[in-house]
Structure 1
């Protein structure tokens, strides 16, 4: 099959070249339509329950993604509370408000909020905290004193030590956060602000990553390709020959990315790495083919015949290595993470395309080279083989084969110890991710994240939504009570049923039950001016019933409910799992204090619902009454607790959930109250958990499928299991080392498991298949092993070196996921090559008849390979 296909491709090479060029051009022109998406929310399907709830909570409480701007002054004795710094803060706030895409109304800054201060008992003044830039230190001291009296500002808008001021910038769309952050920096420079300025927050981290990801994609893939080209040139010493795999890889990458973009998929962090993954995969098989061709071609040979013979030998290994790699990545399509599904699906397409091009383009290309060029290459190869320096690698490999057989006990014993240590390391792996940590430690965003979260309560947010249940039962009780009143009215000769039903129907259009009760009460109250006194008596009874039901539905005007919220907040802060928690309880306590005396001892909740209502009504006279609705819905049936976290790590978010669960178990919420979660930090935790579970299923299922494929390929259970050894050991080794060195299991690491499956088994397939072919010629396993440790082992080593060295430049990338990919690619290639070339011959040497029943023993058993 391989021989016939290679001959046909050589004879029709012009058609092969034209088809390949047409494919690259047709799909390549679609690449400029690229759209970048780095939103972690899109790691979850649009219909995923937690994501739907998150969107619902944001809409309910008018919440926005926020950029956090920190102004730091460590030089002045008063920190930022000096006239110059506060003036700069005021001016910067005004400048940010003018930036397109900023939700000006909801911006939080000391220069955009009220000072809540008692004017007289029972009366509060709501004046701007910084109405104009302060000119004296006395004015600055007044502002500091005011901030220190307002718990909702302390730790959020100003650090507790006074060295930093914060501006929380709500944005209309997180897609514009990188641009807005740049405009904020430009505004600060234009204003001549001398204080340190730091900008962070999850939206700007994500959007900045998208911008730098695009730049890195444009740099890393070509750079890796260049180095792969240079390393292959070092091995083959023939530019025309080495161009072939590079053209193949470029076509594969262009066609795959063009198809992805052209079919309407956005380029997420995962799909941005498709070129990086496809580059080594695309050249792996072609290096085996060219290596075999270069070693077999001699001056004067017919290139067509030599290439046909090479393809006949390598057709099966090339086919099955591509299929196993494709299976490894295709398994990702069964994960519950859409960007990972896209990544797996298109990588699989790229792998299959590279397979087709390897089987067609490579023979066609080699067949188009001049014999003069090929003869020069063959002469160089011959000189290298005769020259000690040039054949050093092959000589080392020849020695490696003998050592593997002689030291088989040590090698197998060492392998067992290695696996045992790796298993221990795997148990130490911590599942954790944080989009901010996708940048290097010295990146501006990482530095800002560290500085601001050290000084403020936290730049990461999560939300606890508290929801009153049983509202339908309240409505049913009202209907039953109203029916009794209507029947009594009918007995007195008043027919109110029809009008009551019409008022109910009109009120139902208001939406939530609380709003319906409000509308119904208003309608009845207006109606009382139209009816006579006798009829009014019954309508007043209905109004009393409605008012009672409305009070029952307004759970979060109850001191009991607000008290429980305050206890929950205090528990979380004292447990150290959050930097700060803000809720309606804080707002009510602050206003209540100023209504009574303004003294600290009156910072408490009112004793009655009426007192809570009075505090809320007073706050609605402030400059920012809409802030109330970020903590409670207008019908007071749902409330929001805003948690500020100083870390966006999933593990830290998980500790918050555990702390809440522990509190709820010991202190159940008031009857009829349920809680659920929202917020970007919580959503990150959700998709990370689903990714881990999905990746584990994908890894195990792909492992099982590849095992079946290996058994089918070699038609032997023992050889199939043997072929899986490098894969198993490589995965164990990589993840074991990761656990031992403390590297978190994050998204890039999880996806690289599929790459381990694809590449780790490739070398084993080539090694075992070539050993079987050598056995068919020699009928003696030691001689066959010696033969394999010449040309095939050289090809495997060349492959490992080309890929490992080619992707080491990724270690200099500014983005951690790219560094992870580079490190893992090099490690996977090195580990799988070493296990293949050392462990496989050592294990075969223990029981050759187990793996190759027809193999003969050497005539001199004591003589080793």
Structure 2
């Protein structure tokens, strides 16, 4: 059937060209419907529990994604000078007008309240900086006022007084790049000598999406051009090397068009499909062109020559395509949707490229005129540096076979140690180069402030446990209508608060005909239950949170935390004497409730509901971190877990995490586990395929050596160099598996076929390091050098892909040529002689 396919393509090339063009046009027609998704949150499934809880937390506490604008002053008094404060006030007013900014929650010196005493038992709330101070004395007075507001210290103004910040909440994180650009234009219009920086995870993620497509538009075509020029250098025939480029471009266009046409978003992962497909799509074509250029001579029928080449190469090409596709399809085993989509469509693209290689390539080559092929013949007869160098490489590998084996063993041990040193870590901000404005802003602001990264520690009252405690206590009371009413309220659907209030209202109206003493007893019991429900009005609970905050601050793992106790203590101090000793949690729940009621008369009463729910049954501790690295977030979560184990939470409380920094840690952890599972699964499948292909367990294991050593060496080097194991590095393990085995398949299959004809080890070695080794070397060089344009990209994931693609190809090619030669010819070629097919055909 395969022979009929390429024979039909050679016989009817125009039909092949037309069908390919139609498929490409249909794919391109779907591309205007592209949907962009740069949100790392979507690395987790929409139903993933941590993501569901994160979004629920944002809804319950009215939390929004924020852009952080930092202003750094070189004035002798730092930020506290009239000029800097005037610029901040003006910038704040202009930002508030931007579309997409949640004005009510905009937070800076110009939009928060100063909390002051207005007489014993009274608090006055007034804007901290309604107008910028007119002189230096007013600026310094502002500093003194801010020092009494610990919630804003090192948050709105840095601890060294050199910088101020504006926290810009946005309604849609997908508008972060646009809003950030508008803020940059506002800054440019300020008459200020201060430096301004804009950062925050939302803007980093959205900015990455924008630059990602700029790089796709530049690097992918530039890489294609470099690959084309390298192949022209090998074959010296522009028309001849156009064929594999058409295969590659057709594979990329049809695959991306299908992805977009089926309604999938182009994510950070799927944006790399073109970059991954480009080198893989030309691999088989280079083998075919190398073999064709060695066989074709003037006067030959190119159709017969290309058919002869395909007959010899079909089986190894089929298995290399299948194994590479299996490597990427194994990503479907990961629990991360964008990675699954990436793996599925790259696998599809690989199989599509194989089909186009069997149809479009022979149709194109067969349609070339004899005159167009003359340059190819002249170049082939003249030889090249590779053709002169490779035979010596083969003889050298044979002479040094045992040192080569020992060297590989030594590298394996060193690689294992390097792999043990790998640390899993990622941070979307570090997807940009160190000199990128976002990286610079991140570095500067995190040096000055408590941190530009958010995490939220959510403490929630376990209502089910509270209901059980209440039910047990009330069941022990004497049977009465009030008892039945109270117990029934615990079984009402929905929230417990309204059910308790309903029961309390019925008791107050006297409709149960109870004596006054019994009615008063049950009213008191239900009011106690309401107070137990409002757990974050209880002094002992607030003190626990206060102690947890203090201990976490002392750990040095966070820059700062803000929570309900900070607000309560500040208002309580001003309600009392205003002195420092009154900066504490009140002694009764009623006194706590009074401070909270007082705060609700401020200019920003909604700030209270960012820290607690309206029924006071849940609260959030806002953590500021100076690093968004997963390792640092993991350290904070582990520290809290250990603290809670030693200092148990108050009865009925539960602790969970939310926030972008936490979600990034979650999906990174799932990615590592999923990648390990997919790699292991793909390794087993590829091994089985090798055994089936060669019909030999020994040769199957031998074919797995290059990929095993390549993966071990590359990831060992990552560990030795101290580079973090991040998203692109994890995904490239699939590329390493697929491409590393390709060379081994071609080398072993061709060696067996040649030996079956020659029945002579030396002649087989000489023949192997002619065309087969030449094709392997050309492939390695084309891909390794062809993707060096990626090293010029401003986005680190693309640079990582470029480096690792080159490393994978170089290492796998060298291991295949050296190690397989050493092992196949070891012991007077025992393995080759005993596994070569008896039938030369």
Contact 1:556 1:639 (C-alpha < 8 Å) held by counterparts: yes
* Alpha-carbon shift at residue 471 of structure 1 (Å): 2.4
Task: Tell me the distance in 1 between the aligned counterparts of 2:120 and 2:729.
Answer: 61
Paired position in structure 2 for 1:306 = 305
Alpha carbons of 1:19 and 1:565: their partners in 2 closer, same or farther (altered >3 Å)? same
* Alpha-carbon shift at residue 601 of structure 1 (Å): 2.1
Counterpart secondary structure, 1:117 = strand
Task: Tell me the distance in 1 between the aligned counterparts of 2:486 and 2:821.
Answer: 87
Task: Tell me the distance in 2 between the aligned counterparts of 1:286 and 1:781.
Answer: 28
* Alpha-carbon shift at residue 361 of structure 1 (Å): 1.0
Task: Tell me the distance in 2 between the aligned counterparts of 1:677 and 1:140.
Answer: 39
Pairing partner for 2:821 from 812, 829, 841 = 841
Contact 1:458 1:645 (C-alpha < 8 Å) held by counterparts: yes
Deviations 1:351-388 (A, max 9, x none): 00000000111111111000111133212321x22xxx
Task: Tell me the distance in 1 between the aligned counterparts of 2:709 and 2:262.
Answer: 38
Paired position in structure 2 for 1:126 = 125
Paired position in structure 2 for 1:740 = 720
Deviations 1:201-254 (A, max 9, x none): 111100000011111111111110010001111111001111111111111000
Matches within 5 A, 1:429-444: 429-444=422-437
Pairing partner for 1:457 from 450, 453, 472 = 450
Alpha carbons of 1:241 and 1:758: their partners in 2 closer, same or farther (altered >3 Å)? same
* Alpha-carbon shift at residue 579 of structure 1 (Å): 0.7
Contact 1:718 1:851 (C-alpha < 8 Å) held by counterparts: no
Matches within 5 A, 1:530-545: 539-545=519-525
Task: Tell me the distance in 2 between the aligned counterparts of 1:667 and 1:502.
Answer: 33
Contact 1:478 1:546 (C-alpha < 8 Å) held by counterparts: no
Task: Tell me the distance in 1 between the aligned counterparts of 2:488 and 2:723.
Answer: 64
TM-score by length of 2: 0.96
Alpha carbons of 1:2 and 1:307: their partners in 2 closer, same or farther (altered >3 Å)? farther
Paired position in structure 2 for 1:700 = 680
Matches within 5 A, 1:490-509: none
Aligned length: 834
TM-score by length of 1: 0.94
Matches within 5 A, 1:513-528: 513-518=496-501, 520-521=503-504, 525=508, 527=509
Deviations 1:697-742 (A, max 9, x none): 0001101111111111111111111111110110001000000001
Confirm whether residue 116 of structure 1 aligns to residue 115 of structure 2. yes
Task: Tell me the distance in 1 between the aligned counterparts of 2:633 and 2:216.
Answer: 31
Alpha carbons of 1:487 and 1:405: their partners in 2 closer, same or farther (altered >3 Å)? closer
Contact 1:781 1:855 (C-alpha < 8 Å) held by counterparts: no
Counterpart secondary structure, 1:591 = helix
Counterpart secondary structure, 1:461 = strand
* Alpha-carbon shift at residue 291 of structure 1 (Å): 1.0
Counterpart secondary structure, 2:147 = helix
Contact 2:471 2:487 (C-alpha < 8 Å) held by counterparts: no
* Alpha-carbon shift at residue 600 of structure 1 (Å): 1.9
* Alpha-carbon shift at residue 2 of structure 1 (Å): 5.5
Contact 2:753 2:836 (C-alpha < 8 Å) held by counterparts: no
Paired position in structure 2 for 1:405 = 398
* Alpha-carbon shift at residue 194 of structure 1 (Å): 2.9
Paired position in structure 1 for 2:19 = 19
Deviations 1:166-210 (A, max 9, x none): 111111111000111111111222233431111111111000000
Paired position in structure 1 for 2:284 = 285
Alpha carbons of 1:740 and 1:223: their partners in 2 closer, same or farther (altered >3 Å)? same
Paired position in structure 2 for 1:863 = none
* Alpha-carbon shift at residue 520 of structure 1 (Å): 4.6
Paired position in structure 2 for 1:862 = none
Paired position in structure 2 for 1:492 = none
Paired position in structure 2 for 1:44 = 44
* Alpha-carbon shift at residue 820 of structure 1 (Å): 0.5
Paired position in structure 2 for 1:221 = 220
Deviations 1:553-605 (A, max 9, x none): 22111111111111111111111111111111111111111112222222111
Task: Tell me the distance in 1 between the aligned counterparts of 2:811 and 2:512.
Answer: 90
Confirm whether residue 476 of structure 1 aligns to residue 471 of structure 2. yes
Paired position in structure 2 for 1:140 = 139
Task: Tell me the distance in 2 between the aligned counterparts of 1:477 and 1:87.
Answer: 62
Paired position in structure 1 for 2:495 = 512
RMSD of aligned C-alpha atoms?
Answer: 2.0
* Alpha-carbon shift at residue 408 of structure 1 (Å): 0.8
Deviations 1:440-489 (A, max 9, x none): 0001111111111111111111111111222212553586488745379x
* Alpha-carbon shift at residue 763 of structure 1 (Å): 0.7
Contact 2:267 2:338 (C-alpha < 8 Å) held by counterparts: yes
Deviations 1:524-575 (A, max 9, x none): 55x37x999x866654444322212111222111111111111111111111
Matches within 5 A, 1:717-728: 717-728=697-708
* Alpha-carbon shift at residue 7 of structure 1 (Å): 2.5
Contact 2:10 2:362 (C-alpha < 8 Å) held by counterparts: yes
Contact 2:704 2:741 (C-alpha < 8 Å) held by counterparts: yes
Contact 1:429 1:738 (C-alpha < 8 Å) held by counterparts: yes
Task: Tell me the distance in 1 between the aligned counterparts of 2:162 and 2:643.
Answer: 34
Task: Tell me the distance in 2 between the aligned counterparts of 1:763 and 1:432.
Answer: 32
Task: Tell me the distance in 2 between the aligned counterparts of 1:380 and 1:665.
Answer: 74
Confirm whether residue 852 of structure 1 aligns to residue 828 of structure 2. no
Confirm whether residue 415 of structure 1 aligns to residue 398 of structure 2. no
Contact 1:64 1:171 (C-alpha < 8 Å) held by counterparts: yes
Confirm whether residue 557 of structure 1 aligns to residue 537 of structure 2. yes
Alpha carbons of 1:792 and 1:607: their partners in 2 closer, same or farther (altered >3 Å)? same
Confirm whether residue 62 of structure 1 aligns to residue 42 of structure 2. no
Contact 2:422 2:724 (C-alpha < 8 Å) held by counterparts: yes
Paired position in structure 1 for 2:332 = 333
Where in structure 1 are there 5+ consecutive unaligned residues? 386-390, 489-496, 857-865
Contact 2:486 2:500 (C-alpha < 8 Å) held by counterparts: no
* Alpha-carbon shift at residue 852 of structure 1 (Å): 3.0
Pairing partner for 2:756 from 776, 787, 807 = 776
Contact 2:506 2:512 (C-alpha < 8 Å) held by counterparts: no
Paired position in structure 2 for 1:426 = 419
Task: Tell me the distance in 2 between the aligned counterparts of 1:690 and 1:177.
Answer: 27
Counterpart secondary structure, 2:118 = strand
Task: Tell me the distance in 1 between the aligned counterparts of 2:423 and 2:273.
Answer: 26
Confirm whether residue 35 of structure 1 aligns to residue 18 of structure 2. no
Contact 2:482 2:519 (C-alpha < 8 Å) held by counterparts: no
Task: Tell me the distance in 1 between the aligned counterparts of 2:633 and 2:437.
Answer: 24
Counterpart secondary structure, 2:834 = coil
Task: Tell me the distance in 2 between the aligned counterparts of 1:583 and 1:793.
Answer: 66
* Alpha-carbon shift at residue 845 of structure 1 (Å): 2.2
Confirm whether residue 394 of structure 1 aligns to residue 404 of structure 2. no
Task: Tell me the distance in 2 between the aligned counterparts of 1:4 and 1:346.
Answer: 27
